[in-house]
Chain A
Amino acid sequence: MAEERRPKQCTVVLPTESMKAMAESIGVGQLQEESCAALSEEVSYRIKEIAQDALKFMHHGKRCKLTTSDIDYALKLKNVEPLYGFQSQEFIPFRFASGGGRELHFYEEKEVDLSDIINTPLPRVPLDVSLKAPKEQQKTESTEPLKAVKPGQEEEGSTQKGQGATSAEAKGKKDGLMRMKPRSTHELSVEQQLYYKEITEACVGSCEAKRAEALQSIATDPGLYQMLPRFSTFISEGVRVNVVQNNLALLIYLMRMVKALMDNPTLYLEKYLHELIPAVVTCIVSKQLCLRPDVDNHWALRDFAARLMAQSCKTFSTTTNNIQSRITKTFTKVYNNCWLDDKTQWTTRYGCIAGLSELGPDVIKTLILPRLTVEGARIKAVSDGPVVSNIDKIGADHVQNLLLKHCASVIAKACPLPDNVEQYRADYGYLGPMLCSHVVKARAQAALQAQQVNRTTLTITQPRPTLTVSQSGIGGSGGSRTPSIIKVPSSLTLMSTRPGTPTQPSPPATKYIVMATSSGSSSTQQVITRTSSSVTSTVASATSTLQPLVKLESGGSRPLQKYIVVSLPSSSSLESKSGVLPPSSSTSPILLEARIKVDCSDSPGASTQSPH
């Protein structure tokens, strides 16, 4: 028996007043009350009968909405003449009227002036029926990652089973659904739209605490796949705009978003790399990233982006898409041009070298070491030569530091022990002696690390270490970026001098440690601190900490000036205490005249400016 009593079966009958009204409308004046009642019952019954038949037509018409034509057909079934001309624009075409104690619903038929109809322009002809299907050819042969993947088509099956090749394919196929309407975009739910708005605003907004939260959310939230295309577009568009405007702060924010997206284990960025990689590479090699290249620390951004690039290479590079080799090629091409062409900006050169160096010791050994002599000569020309622009000098210094930092560790591992200064000079030219001392330091550092047992070693394993390889048909044109999934369980070993996970945001809201890597003796930490100081870009130094802090101004016409402080400590206090001078600090001119600003978020005007 049914558990609960069903809502009362419909025993509704038309009111007798309706009968009277209808009778009047056809000229029957006085209708007896009993006749009315009898009629209304009969009419109600017949109406129900017709409605039930009409329902049949609706079902067979594969619709959920009963239309007037269904009722026409139902009437036809009963051999009753259909209601001709009942074509209503509105869903419920009845009007309500009351008066004289009676309430009436009537069908409004306006008088239409024929000339009006004649004179009005004809309505547009409705579109003809057309058939849409996903173009399979496009799918399998596209060399670009699928841009049109609208993740709304997520099916339960594949989420349960992981991203098996077939379900991924099936999903791709299902995307045809999304293209059923030209230009139709997948719509996010209201909640998702709100979330997206909040997150993007926080990520590029002024409040560092909010940003930290937002990035944390991006990095951990499991349900973001639907918004991934939006995020990806947001980032790529953002970079495009802000590079032109030299808005360093925003570029940094965007890169941090990329980082957070990459950190999210539930997101799989491969299909969006075509948008993300250009953005990241732009941040590495662009000639100018900030308004004042002499003071702003765009170098940190380049380093950070280079690391992101390296990470994505490790994660997403496959034999099909060859990301790593393509990226390497891009860098070397620019880099080679740098060598050939003296006019190339130091910034770009720095970016290339940084990008290459992050790709690993092998790349350094094969691509950078042979060039050290040439590069050294060029640096020498800048530093020893006649007075050149300050920018060039700073650039040269940075390149030099970068080269020393990365090459030293490689050489330390590759070359036999006796570090002969002359030998180095012969091999690497101008940079030889400095390199020599760095190598010595690197060896010492390595020895020290070996002794320190409790040194924290943090291994960051890529979020999804195992993923099946799905090889979809490789297109003819190189097919280097066909959608395919391969995951190299890449591990990034970070040797941090501080115990703690550098990738986690540190508790104080004002500081956010973005990333720390170390490929050699020194560990690099990037601490981005935000302050609401209204002073224009200042660079101050506090020699006690040896932390160069560069303050960056975020461009834009917002009423509230925003600053971002990016610090690039090339060495930690531990190391300096241990007596081993960090290589960069000893040689880098910029660090010698390190300007560190005592900069706290709560002291807007307390920054001291040191002469440059």
Chain B
Amino acid sequence: MAAVQDGQLNLEVEKDIKTEITNDGSGNINANSSSPGSTSSGGKSKSPAGSGEDQQTLLAVLQFLKRNKLTESVDILRREAGLSADADDSPVSESAGAGSGGVPSVGADGGDANSLLSRVSIATPVAPPATAPPKVVAASGGEDQPDVNVVLSAYSQQGDPVLYPLYYNGLKKFIESVLDCHRAELSQVFYPLFVHMYLELVYNNHENEAKQFFEKFSGDQECYYEEDLRILSSMSKKEHMKGNETMLDFRTSKFVLRISRDSYQLLKRHLQERQNNQIWNIIQEHLYIDIFDGMPRSKSQIDAMSGSLAGEGKRDANKAKVFYGLLKEPEIEVPLDDEDEEAENEEGKPKKKKPKKDSMGSKSKKQDPNAPQQTRIPLPELKDSDKLDKIMNMKEATKKIRLGPDNLPSICFYSFLNAYQGLTAVDFTDDSSLIAGGFADSTVRVWSVTPKKLRRVKSAADLSNIDKESDDVLERIMDEKTASESKILYGHSGPVYGISFSPDRNYLLSSSEDGTVRLWSLQTFTCLVGYKGHNYPVWDTQFSPYGYYFISGGHDRVARLWATDHYQPLRMFAGHLADITCTLFHPNSNYVATGSADRTIRLWDVLTGNCVRILTGHKGPIHSLAFSPNGKFMASGATDGRVLLWDVGHGLMVGELKGHTDTIYALKFSRDGEILASGSMDNTVKLWDTLKAFDDVELDDFTAATGHIHLPENSQELLLGTYMTKSTPVIHLHFTRRNLLLAAGAYNP
């Protein structure tokens, strides 16, 4: 568990806090140069005796106390700190927007721990940090690990433990007796209710009753909650609740249900008639019921969306506008003569016109209305080498094979031999010339898959001897003696779980169990930076498609956005309720998507740091994400073996691809987006017809507004092919620029 476990709240504070601190988890913390540095624990920082705390922290504490009507303490503290009365007011106004991205509806709680620290929005996130490192932790600490006792205090209401099963049964009978159309909706209540009732029993030390209750009703819950139930079942004592992540997740976030107004009224009336206060209290306190007008949803509709740790995403959570369009391609002066020569050499004349039209005309002339502004986030300038690479890319793209159901890609499989079950991550460069593998033995290995060998730059002493004026200076700086097909990078001290090449192929990122992300130079094959911030295993890291930025996410549930030249994160995206398992940049680099073990996917705005999408529907931890090349759609794969397709603009699930029998570790769209390839632990690569999948979805205004979509059951039609490996789990997939599919995995004899 992240952060501190020892909530050292002052006792009197603890008692007085009756207001529930809801850390809905959607708060975001932006860091910038002006934001305060503070210690890593919200709890600790409240101790006034703590010396060395800076003023900002004090202000935050003061606010907190004030809000909780602890005027006495406020006065004392202020006196001690020697602060003026108005000094603490300034951050308040600034913190207004905190937490607004995710859940505006909990506005009342908006000023919770998130806003303990002032959040200062900034215009240029890439502004280099001045003296103070951009660090925001108190909030995230509080969010990750709210004080247990505070959280549990909500369970203090005492009911007769013997009555719990009766209450539950009564509700069950009622729901079973209502009209069919309402039954499915109301059945959603069962699971959160069950969990909270169980936790209440446990909290109040009714161990035996809790066990009985669990045994009696756990079988009724949907099968996709099995994992959570298993964790619950192991928790049978109040002491266990301390520090148990799942329990905290349940307490800190309201379970979100979407219920139609009619069904809700029905439930309300029933509970009020029966005077069933126990259940009503739980619903009031721990559940968030998102009421909508209209037809109740069907069972399948509900099932499609449910399954996450904290229920469905609220509808409001997905209302923010997402600029999913692609950025304008920079105008590149194509060296005409060079291009012509090439084209003529290979294809003769007719080819020659095309590439320019494609590259210059269609892409750059018209601006996508859905695209963000070009300068919405600052992007690194193109270097000459980048331009050359872009030109190469265009040339290759003209030779791209047009894929479709009748024209499936060839698959080339790279097998890692003798990996002894130690291959944990793979990445290809965009031009498919290099392949990198992260291993459980802490090493990162880079292979060249072209005849061009990997060479190191000469040592400084040797470099001084080269003639810098010569034309082939770039060749001369390389040390021929070091040429080899593969290089090993040593530096991590734990398994390397994430690996990513920079788009210009000069750098490599790796994230590891040791809590660091490392940046490696592929010129010198040495480690350049170790980014420390995650104190727990970092499960994934990913370069932005434009380079410079990268995202990392790990066990501490916070995704961090970094720039390669800053050793502190630029943004921290907090909100997930469990480990962040995979991270991915949107093709336009303005958004990042994170998949989590809480079975949700969140999309974050890089500029504001807000969570702009919460996508629920997976029934297991998400292990792979992929954006379609046009940025409009997203695919996600999870341990449940299903691939879900999402419309990023609307925040809707638009497809479900069933077929895999094990965790999906790799997803990739073809270069034109017609085909989705998925690779899984079940030793198969499957190809899906995404064009058809996206076409089949009818998006009328109603579904777009409510998000209640009917998913067509067409996995079998969309499945274009299944390719078995012998005994090699597929852990990475990559489409070359010509649409050849590369796959990689370690052979498990």
Are B445 and A129 in contact, with the CB atoms below 8 A? yes
**A-B residue pairs in contact (CB < 8 Å), sample of 14:** A1-B187, A2-B219, A2-B223, A8-B215, A42-B237, A49-B234, A61-B495, A64-B681, A73-B495, A73-B513, A130-B418, A133-B414, A166-B408, A166-B410
Cβ A9 vs Cβ B218 within 8 A: yes
Chain B 406-429 per-residue mask, 1 if CB under 8 angstroms from chain A, else 0: 111111111111111111100000
Check if B516 is an interface residue, CB within 8 A of chain A: no
Within 8 A of A (CB), among B12-47: none
> Given A133-B449, A164-B406, is A59 in contact with B223 using a C-beta cutoff of 8 Å?
no
CA distance A153 to B683 in the complex (A): 12
| A44 CA / B435 CA spacing, docked (Å) | 43
Q: How distant is the Cα of A170 from the Cα of B409 in the complex, in angstroms?
A: 7
Assess whether A593 is interfacial by the CB under 8 Å rule. Answer: no
* Chain A positions within 8 Å of B728 at CB level: 177, 180
B327 CB, nearest partner CB in chain A, Å: 32
Contact residues of B between 639 and 679, Cβ < 8 Å to A? 639, 662-663, 665
The answer to whether A174 and B723 touch (CB under 8 A), given A130-B416, A133-B413, is yes
Which A residues touch B406, using CB under 8 A? Answer: 164, 166
Whole-angstrom distance between the Cβ of A100 and the nearest chain B Cβ: 32
**Known A126-B420, A176-B413; contact A59-B747, beta-carbon cutoff 8 A:** no
Across-interface contacts of A167 in B (CB, < 8 A): 408, 721
Residues of B within 8 A of A2 (CB): 219-223
Contacts of A67 in B (CB 8 A): 421
Among B155-163, B225-233, B375-383, B544-552, the stretch that binds chain A is B225-233
The reply on A65 being an interface residue by CB < 8 A is yes
Could you mark each residue 27-44 of chain A with 1 if its beta carbon is under 8 Å from any beta carbon of chain B, else 0?
A: 000000000000001101
Name which residue of chain B comes closest to A127, CB basis. Answer: B418
Q: Are B722 and A155 in contact (CB under 8 A)?
A: yes
When distances are taken between beta carbons in the complex, the residues of chain B under 8 Å from A152 are 726
- Asked if B417 and A181 make an inter-chain contact with CB atoms under 8 angstroms apart, the answer reads yes
Give complex CA distance A44, B233 in Å. 12
Contact assessment for A129 and B419 in the assembled complex, using a CB-CB cutoff below 8 Å? yes
CB of B418 within 8 A of CB of A177, answer no
Residues A158 and B417 in contact, CB atoms below 8 Å apart: no
Tell me how far the C-beta of A129 lies from the nearest C-beta in chain B, rounded to whole angstroms.
5
B598 to chain A, nearest CB (A): 13
A181 in contact with B445 given A62-B424, A155-B722, A170-B411 (CB within 8 Å):
no
Choose among A56, A65, A158 the residue that contacts B579 (Cβ–Cβ < 8 A): A56
Q: Is the CB–CB distance between A157 and B418 below 8 Å?
A: no
Q: Which of chain B's residues 212-251 have a Cβ closer than 8 Å to chain A?
A: 214-215, 218-223, 226, 229-231, 233-237, 239-240, 244
B486: chain A residues at CB < 8 Å are 131
- Specify the chain A residue showing the minimal Cβ separation from B720: A157
Whether A45 is near chain B, meaning CB under 8 Å from some CB there, is yes
Q: Provide the A497-509 mask, 1 if CB < 8 A to any CB of B, else 0.
A: 0000000000000
A10 in contact (CB, < 8 A): yes
Tell me how many residues of B have a C-beta within 8 Å of chain A: 82
- Which residues of B lie under 8 Å from residue A177 when comparing CB positions? 413, 415, 725-726, 728
**In the complex, which residue of chain A has the Cβ closest to the Cβ of B234?**
A48
Contacts A10-B230, A62-B424, A157-B687 hold; do A69 and B440 have CB atoms under 8 A apart?
A: yes
- Per the 8 Å Cβ criterion, residues 556-583 of A in contact with B are none
B207 to chain A, nearest CB (A): 9
> Within 8 Å CB of B418, what residues of A?
126-130
Complex formed: what's the CA distance from A249 to B239 in Å? Answer: 84
Given A10-B234, A129-B416: 4 more A-B contacts, CB < 8 Å: A8-B215, A133-B449, A157-B687, A170-B721
- A residues with a Cβ closer than 8 A to B are 1-2, 5-6, 8-11, 41-42, 44-45, 48-49, 52, 56-57, 59-65, 67, 69, 73, 77, 126-134, 136, 152-153, 155-158, 164, 166-167, 169-170, 172-174, 176-178, 180-181, 186
Which residues from chain A contact B663 at a C-beta distance below 8 Å? 59
B211 within 8 A of partner (CB): yes
CB-contact partner of A62 in B579, B597, B729, under 8 A = B729
Q: How far is the CB of A53 from chain B (nearest CB, A)?
A: 9
Question: Which B residues between 437 and 455 are near A, CB-CB below 8 angstroms?
Answer: 437, 439-440, 445, 447, 449
A77–B537 touching, CB < 8 Å:
yes
With both beta carbons as reference points, the residue of chain B lying nearest to A53 in the complex is identified as: B555
| Top 7 closest pairs, chain A to chain B, by CB | A157-B721, A180-B415, A5-B219, A9-B233, A127-B418, A173-B410, A48-B234
Chain B residues with Cβ below 8 Å from A48 are: 231, 234
Which residue of chain B is the closest to A182 with respect to CB atoms? B417
Q: Contact at B440–A61, with CB atoms within 8 Å?
A: yes
Q: How many A-B contacts are there with CB distance less than 8 Å?
A: 182
Is the CB–CB distance between A1 and B449 below 8 Å? no
Are A157 and B417 in touch, CB under 8 angstroms?
Answer: no
The answer to whether A136 and B219 have CB atoms under 8 Å apart is: no
**Contact (A174, B413) CB under 8 Å given A10-B234, A69-B440:** yes
Please give the distance in Å from A313's CB to the nearest CB on chain B.
31
Residues of chain A with a CB closer than 8 A to B408's CB? 157, 166-167, 170
Bound Cα distance from A11 to B218, whole angstroms: 13
| Contact B415 A132, beta carbon cutoff 8 Å | yes
Contact of B721 among A5, A42, A158 (CB under 8 A): A158
B581 interfacial contact with A, CB 8 Å:
yes
| A contact residues around B414 at 8 Å (CB) | 131-133
Contacts of B415 in A (CB 8 A): 131-133, 176-177, 180
Nearest chain-A residue to B172 (Cβ)? A1
Bound Cα distance A178, B725 (Å)? 8
Q: Chain A: which residue is nearest B415 at the CB level?
A: A180
Closest chain B residue to A156 by CB distance? B722
Cα separation A52 to B579 with both chains bound (whole Å): 13
Interface membership of chain B positions 721-746, coded 1 if the CB is closer than 8 angstroms to chain A and 0 otherwise: 11111101101000000000000001
List residues of chain A with CB within 8 A of the CB of B235: 45
Question: Which A residues are CB-close (under 8 A) to B555?
Answer: 56, 77
Interface contact A62-B416, CB-CB below 8 Å: no
Residue of A nearest to B187 (CB): A1
Shortest beta-carbon distance from A174 to chain B in Å = 5
Q: How far does the Cβ of A183 sit from chain B's closest Cβ, in whole Å?
A: 12
**A155 vs B722: C-alpha distance in the bound complex, in angstroms?**
6
> In the complex the two chains form, what is the Cα distance from A9 to B228 in whole Å?
11
Q: Does B560 contact A (CB under 8 A)?
A: no
Q: Say how far B419's CB is from chain A's closest CB, in angstroms.
A: 5
Alpha-carbon gap, A558 to B142, bound state (A): 87
How far does the Cβ of B489 sit from chain A's closest Cβ, in whole Å?
13
Complex Cα distance, B421 from A79, in Å, reads: 26
Task: Determine the distance from Cα of A426 to Cα of B236 in the docked complex, in whole angstroms.
Answer: 112
Contact of A176 among B234, B412, B724 (CB under 8 A): B412
Asked if A134 contacts B412 (CB within 8 A), the reply is yes
Within B191-219, the residues touching A (CB, 8 Å) are 211, 214-215, 218-219
Judged by a CB distance under 8 angstroms, whether B573 is at the interface is no
Distance in angstroms from B193 CB to nearest chain A CB is 13
A1: B residues at CB distance < 8 A: 187, 190, 220-222
Give the complex CA separation of A427 and B236 in angstroms. Answer: 109
Specify which chain A residues have a CB less than 8 angstroms from the CB of B419 in the assembled complex. 129
> Which of B219, B407, B536 counts the most A-chain CB atoms under 10 A from its CB?
B219
A10 CB contacts on chain B under 8 angstroms: 230, 233-234
B311 to chain A, nearest CB (A): 17
* Residue B497 CB within 8 A of the other chain: yes
Q: State the Cβ distance, B589 to closest chain A Cβ, in Å.
A: 26
Q: Which residues of B contact A129 (CB under 8 A)?
A: 416-419, 422-423, 437, 439, 445
| Max chain A C-beta neighbours (<10 A), residue from B720, B723, B747 | B723
Q: How far is the CA of A354 from the CA of B673 in the complex (A)?
A: 58
Closest to B421 in A: A63
A524 to B239, CA, bound (A): 94
Closest to A150 in B: B726
Residues of B within 8 A of A170 (CB): 408-411, 721, 723
Q: Which of A56, A77, A169 contacts B410 (CB 8 A)?
A: A169
Q: Is B82 engaged at the interface, CB distance under 8 Å to the other chain? A: no
Q: How far is the CB of B255 from chain A (nearest CB, A)?
A: 18
Q: Chain A contacts of B537 at CB under 8 A?
A: 57, 60, 73, 77
